[in-house]
């Protein structure tokens, strides 16, 4: 089992060497939210994680309630891709996590409208970065979409209760990673989002350009 830590500007920075010593092999940071917020911590924290050998990724926190419709989705996708490239040295690098869409905004519209938004966002990211995003959301939100087939390049299940069996929302058959909130990790004191991989291949199914061996 492999651990991945995800953070944003709302979290104090981890000690990367200590986290790695306790089994953390991946680090994911928020880079954008909506169509106008850039998380400036991403550009400094990612190189520190990469320097000690962690796989790194950048996620976008979607705000479809403020940017509805296909045009809103495309606007957010463009904003994400632009700042993804700035924070990540101009490219989706070998060994990076796939792009990530964090979809948890409270948006009181039909499931059809939500699915349309997600697909438009994903399509634009694929056009610009070459990969569909990993889809990060909670079980209840994924189930409420009433999808006939999965979206994105895999499901990252958010907020999984510690010690509880994993329930996978339809139409997904499996997941590669799930997140729980822990009271600490290594010498990090305080709540921290820690995800665990489920695949025997560890992080490989989540990477943009999987490494062999």
Dihedral, CA of residue 19, residue 21, residue 26 and residue 28, to nearest 10: 10
What is the model's pLDDT at position 212?
A: 47
Cα–Cα distances in Å, from 33 out to 40, 48, 75?
A: 12, 22, 12
Q: Which fold has domain 3-206?
A: TIM Barrel (3.20.20)
Give the strand pairing for 100-102 and 134-138. parallel
Helix axes 69-87, 42-51, angle to 10 degrees: 50
- Determine what percent of the chain is predicted with pLDDT higher than 90: 89
Give the separation between CA 144 and CA 96, rounded to whole angstroms.
Answer: 30
Q: How many CB atoms lie within 10 A of CB 180?
A: 17
Q: Is 200 exposed, middle or buried, given 0-12, 13-18 or 19+ CB atoms closer than 10 A? A: exposed
pLDDT digits (tens, 9 = 90+) for 85-113: 999 999 998 889 999 999 999 889 999 99
pLDDT, greater one: 209 or 35 = 35
**Domain ranges in the chain?**
3-206
Q: What is the pTM of this model?
A: 0.95
Dihedral sign computed on CA atoms, order 88, 93, 97, 99: positive
Return the structure tokens found at 35. 């169509």
Q: Is 88 exposed, middle or buried, given 0-12, 13-18 or 19+ CB atoms closer than 10 A? A: buried
């Amino acid at each position: 089992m492999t651990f991945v830590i995800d953070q944003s500007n709302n979290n104090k920075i981890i000690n990367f060497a200590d986290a790695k010593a306790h089994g953390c092999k991946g680090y994911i940071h928020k880079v954008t939210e909506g169509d106008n917020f850039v998380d400036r911590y991403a550009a400094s924290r990612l190189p520190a994680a990469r320097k000690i050998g962690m796989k790194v990724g950048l996620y976008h926190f979607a705000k479809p309630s403020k940017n509805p419709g296909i045009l809103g989705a495309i606007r957010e996708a463009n904003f994400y891709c632009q700042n993804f490239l700035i924070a990540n040295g101009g490219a989706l690098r070998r060994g990076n996590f796939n792009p990530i869409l964090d979809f948890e905004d409270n948006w009181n519209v039909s499931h059809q409208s939500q699915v349309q938004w997600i697909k438009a966002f994903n399509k634009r990211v694929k056009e610009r970065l070459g990969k569909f995003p990993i889809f990060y959301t909670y079980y209840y939100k994924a189930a409420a979409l009433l999808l006939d087939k999965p979206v994105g390049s895999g499901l990252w299940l958010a907020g999984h209760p510690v010690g509880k069996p994993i329930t996978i929302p339809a139409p997904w058959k499996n997941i590669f990673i799930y997140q729980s909130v822990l009271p600490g990790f290594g010498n990090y004191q305080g709540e921290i989002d820690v995800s665990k991989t489920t695949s025997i291949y560890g992080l490989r199914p989540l990477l943009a350009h999987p490494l062999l061996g």
